[in-house]
Amino acid sequence: MNSRDKILSAIAANQPEKTELPDISGFKGAEEDLQSKYATVLTAIGGKIYFVKDENEIAATIATQFSQARRIVSLVDNLPIDNVETVISDPEIHNLKNVDLAIIKAKFGVAENGAVWITEKDVQPRVLPFICEHLAVVINEGTIFPTMHEAYQKIATLEEYGYGSFIAGPSKTADIEQSLVIGAHGPRSMSVFVKV
């Protein structure tokens, strides 16, 4: 037996006992008034929230809130907005640098931190929600979970994905002197449209 085999054999023989994962059932969030809690947290972290009935209300809100947007990319079907790109014809990332507004769908939201969960099945190219100037996200009212614990339980039941990300509010960074800068590393604003 050579040295390598001796080392691997010693490692295999000296494995620690398996430890069960802790019970996190005590961390279950309250189910009541999730929309209100989500709205409060999202607003506190710099986001905006709109409760809408359909795509027409989304389009009307976008027309008023983002009237200066010159380049809009929408990955949401049936959104009645003029002059909007629905397919990225050139996937070269550098050609996305002038996207004023990106409109995407998310799988769900999380009330405790105002986040939304996206995967590459929701967003292609996946850099789009991070490279645009302003981000608008559409979720359904029944898809807001109280805490990240429930969110991760939901993620475990979703179809397989290669890339996923939680996004919470606009891009924020601060230095040691606590000078907050919004939009330095991503969108300057994030608006969430909750379809009720």
The token pair that represents 4 in the structure block: 């390598």
For 35-49, the pLDDT digits (tens) are 999 999 999 999 999
**Whole-number Å distance between alpha carbons of 54 and 61:** 11
Q: Report which of 57, 82, 86 is spatially closest to residue 191, judged by C-alpha positions.
A: 57
Q: CA–CA separation, 86 vs 78, rounded Å?
A: 10
Lowest pLDDT segment from 18-32, 67-81, 161-175:
18-32
What is the per-residue pLDDT for 140?
Answer: 96
Is it the case that residue 144 has pLDDT exceeding 90?
yes
Asked if residues 76 and 102 have their Cβ atoms less than 8 Å apart, the reply is: no
pTM of the model: 0.84
Can you tell me whether residue 144 is helix, strand or coil?
strand
Secondary structure class of 137 (helix, strand, coil): strand
Would you place residue 91 in the very low, low, confident or very high pLDDT band (cuts 50, 70, 90)? low
**What SS3 state is found at 182?**
strand
pLDDT at position 88, please?
Answer: 74
Task: For 65-92, give one letter per residue: b (16+ CB within 10 A) or e.
Answer: bbeebebbbbbbeebebeebeeeeeeee
Query: pLDDT tens-digit profile of 106-135?
Result: 999 999 999 999 999 989 888 999 999 999
Is it the case that residue 57 has pLDDT exceeding 80?
yes
172: how many CB neighbours lie within 10 A of its CB?
A: 15
**Domains with residue ranges and CATH for the chain:** 33-173+180-195 (3.40.50.10420)
pLDDT at 21 over 90: no
d(CA 154, CA 104): 20
In the chain, % helix, strand, coil (3-state, to 5) comes to 30, 25, 45
